[in-house]
Amino acid sequence: MAAKLRAPGLLRAGVLTLVGIAFAAILDLTVRAATNAEPLVNGEAITLVALLAAPFFFLGGLGAFDEWLYWASGKPSRPEDHSGHGATSWKDYFRVNTDHKVIGVQYVVTSFFFMLVGGLLAMLVRAELAAPGAQFVDPNTYNGLFSVHASLMIFLFIIPVFAGMANYVLPLMIGAPDMAFPRLNALSFWMLPIAGVMMTLSFFAPGGSFATGWTAYAPLSTEVPMGQMFFTIGVQFAGASSIATALNFLVTIITMRAPGMSFWRMPLLVWANFATSLLVVIATPFVAASQLFVLLDYALGFNFFNVERGGDVLMYQHVFWFYSHPAVYIMMLPGFGIISEVLAVKSRKPIFGYRMMAFSLLAIVLLGFTVWAHHMFVSGMQPWIRVPMMITTAIIAVPTGIKIFSWLATIWRGVLHLDTPMLWSLGFITMFVLGGISGVMLAIIPIDIHVSDTYFVVAHIHYVLYGGSVFTIFAGIYYWFPKMTGRMFDERLGKVHFWMTFVSFNLTFAPMHLIGVQGMPRRVADYTEQFAGWNMFISLASFLLGLSTLVFVYNVVASWRGGTRAEANPWRAMTLEWQVSSPPPIFNFDAVPTVVGGPYEYGVPGAVHGVFRPAGQPDPHAKEPAGASARADAAGATHHGGTET
Amino acid sequence: MEAAAVPIGHGHGHAHGHDAPGHDHHGHEHHGPPPANKSSRVDAPMLGMLLFIISEVMVFGAFFTAYFFIRIVQGQEWPAEGDHLPKLIAGINTLILVSSSFTLHWAEVSIKENNRRGLQAGIASTFLLGATFLFIQINEYVNIGFAPQDHAQGTIFYGLTGLHGAHVLIGLLALLTVTIRAFRGHFSAHDHRGIEIPGIYWHFVDVMWIVVYLTVYII
């Protein structure tokens, strides 16, 4: 037992979390005794310190810091024995694992867990809104439901699930054996469940969960019950996790590409994550700072947002949106990358305008920092900021438009394989165009003023984040499912999932445009009789949408356990991750491949992307696409976890 | 293709980890990953630190935004009426912190010439100068006569200098580990990355202080 307690793992983490809470209590009592604060025992203060301190004890107990502490103590260097690598049983997914493939699966599964929690909250929101008047929750609980729903979906699902998929496939795609900093990678992942659990637990806080929306505008957020702090502090961990991962991606992409893989031979998923990571590294510190201001105002009585003492309320919105507008691109650009991969493979055609696709990503990164105040047209800020922000917002639609037209040109006269990943990709294009158009409408100041804080905005955000991001996530999950699990998913259920989602998604969110323009306010538990019909309709459609997710969950679980074995390259794709076995060997490659051509030369005779031998040696298979023979060779490769049950 | 076939053998040398006394090589079968291709001349940990510094600059940027809104947009008097900022003491403190960058540079140059004594003296004095800075800063908080709770000017004064102080503390922890390792016989003329990377961070903390000092105390 004692040895088990000393070993890094969940047991030690649990014990140390309790120690951390005790530490927080003692620290708080000591400080309060020293400063003669009244009352001496303040449960809120202890909880607040524990929220900050306990996660570090948890991470330490799990073993996330072991190697660094060992280094810092000045002991002789230990060689890396790679014992933290790979997974042979499901238990290996519950420890600090330094294998990017294991971390990728950890990320994706955790994100989908919180997606289901967030989805359940959305169902409760719709149940409450099914009819006018109060159904079964009071208005404050209702505010909590949609706030936690949005926060989980944004910080615990969409942002990290992209990081998880990229974690899995990006090193493989660029021919790297792992990420640049495997231990930092593990730490990044383990900060995520901390943030998620914290936000979910806020329902048990005195006074209820945080209920200020995911935007947590000050000074509302500095004056509400302490459930708010579960968001404020949770965001710090989610943000730190995403900055660390982004930094890791950037260093990996810059320093670990295979020989011959110039920037202009990188798959667009790699480009997309490069652009996203730039946004994260530059923008995410702003949301961390904005929540730190709230924390200091709330807990220590600072005056950042206290107008009576000279604070500035609008400053919160500026700092918050300087992150949160780029954040919508953080939630979209990796999806653009996924769609580019799927469309080229499933249309058997090269990507149209590869370089413009990459440049438009970088243009979005740059322009993304110049549009934040379009979220504040009705906030009372200086009126002269409005028109420049309207113009930059209209301009940022141009690089996005370039991508849409390039995708359309890619599938133009292609040999389309209309299987599940492709259906999701085409569904994405249609839905995202609709969301983009309502976005440009919202950029126009008079329209924005008219529909501000109405269901029109709710419709817009769901068309870009659900019809946009989530559709790309499903496309990516289905596309890489064989690679990640070594099993094929059930194609029929995949199609059922798509059509059910596609139809019920539109039935749910399209009418919201209508009632939004008519003036139904968002974030209110009640509404007038006038909207009763549409709301009942929307609620019923949304329950169907919820059910469609269960089809997905069943498909994934059943296929992972008992699906047919996947070949190395079931889609006949050229990118490097498909040239190794499914799932890939524990260290990805026996020798790093050499890249000799572009990643999307489908239908080009003799085109090869990567070869598994030093460049310059004769290649007997030069006439066929790389990887056509990978299946047979991969049979003897070292498999690693994911398929064990 | 032909790869992914046979697990490669042992003996892939690893850049990290030089000696392994007592390390068990036979008990279980393991082999390492293939050495990654180096696609950039930039050192990966150095690039990581530079990117981290960019995100740190943005954290300061957010605090400077708050400062800008309170002092310029709101037009609040600076410092608040009746308050006085100790420009001179903070100026001396600035010199102390800046000089620590030079002692750190001395330590780095010394180890590149295999001068261990120089490394130890340089790194220890850097640590002590940094600690002195932090001590004087805390002393200033005690004697300055206003609190962050008093007014927004106090909030942003403590916010900016406190944020910087937290970075000094992190830098000191990093320097402490380097000092421990320097006195335990690590680092050599060829192996000094473990000094340079915390070193870059320390220089950043110094430069950031000059910006904070100029905006908060002088302008």
pLDDT digits over B43-71, tens only? Answer: 999 999 999 999 999 999 999 999 999 99
Give pLDDT, residue A82.
Answer: 77
Across the interface, whether the CB atoms of B7 and A591 are under 8 A apart is answered no
Neighbour-count burial of A510, counting CB atoms closer than 10 A to its CB (0-12 exposed, 13-18 middle, 19+ buried) = middle
Rounded to the nearest integer, the mean pLDDT of chain B is 86
**Strand A610-611 to A594-595 pairing:** antiparallel
> What pLDDT was estimated at residue B7?
35
- pTM of the shown model: 0.91
* DSSP three-state, residue A52: helix
Q: What domains can be seen in chain A, in order of their start residue? A: 2-71 (no CATH), 98-324 (1.20.210.10), 332-566 (1.20.210.10)
B2: nearest CB among A281, A302, A613: A613
Q: How many CA atoms lie within 13 A of B177 on its CB side?
A: 18
pLDDT of residue A514: 96
Contacts of residue A176 in chain B, CB cutoff 8 Å? 36-37
| Widest distance between CA atoms in chain B | 78
| Rounded Cα distance, A171 and A372, in Å | 33
> pLDDT tens digits, residue range B13-48?
333 333 333 343 443 445 688 889 999 999 999 999
A224-262 confidence digits (pLDDT tens): 999 999 999 999 999 999 999 999 999 999 999 999 999
Q: What is the mean pLDDT of residues B177-196?
A: 90
This complex has an ipTM of 0.91
Nearest chain B residue to A381 by CA distance is B73
A81 vs B contacts (CB less than 8 Å) = 23, 30
Interface probe, candidates A35, A295, A315, A381, chain B, greatest B C-beta count within 10 A: A315
| DSSP code for A610 | E
**Does the pLDDT value for residue B187 go beyond 70?**
yes
Residue type, A406: S
Q: Give residue A614's pLDDT.
A: 55
A122 touches A538 (CB < 8 A): no
**CB-closest option in A81, A181, A621 to B1:** A621
SS3 call for B56: helix
Q: Nearest CA to CA, how far is B207 from chain A (Å)?
A: 19
Q: How far is B7 from chain A (nearest CA, A)?
A: 7
pLDDT of residue A2: 79
Alpha helices (H) in B70-86, listed in sequence order: none
Measured between CA atoms, how close is A265 to chain B, in angstroms?
A: 13
Predicted pLDDT at A84: 80
Question: Is the pLDDT confidence value at B166 over 50?
Answer: yes
pLDDT < 50 regions, chain A: 615, 618-645
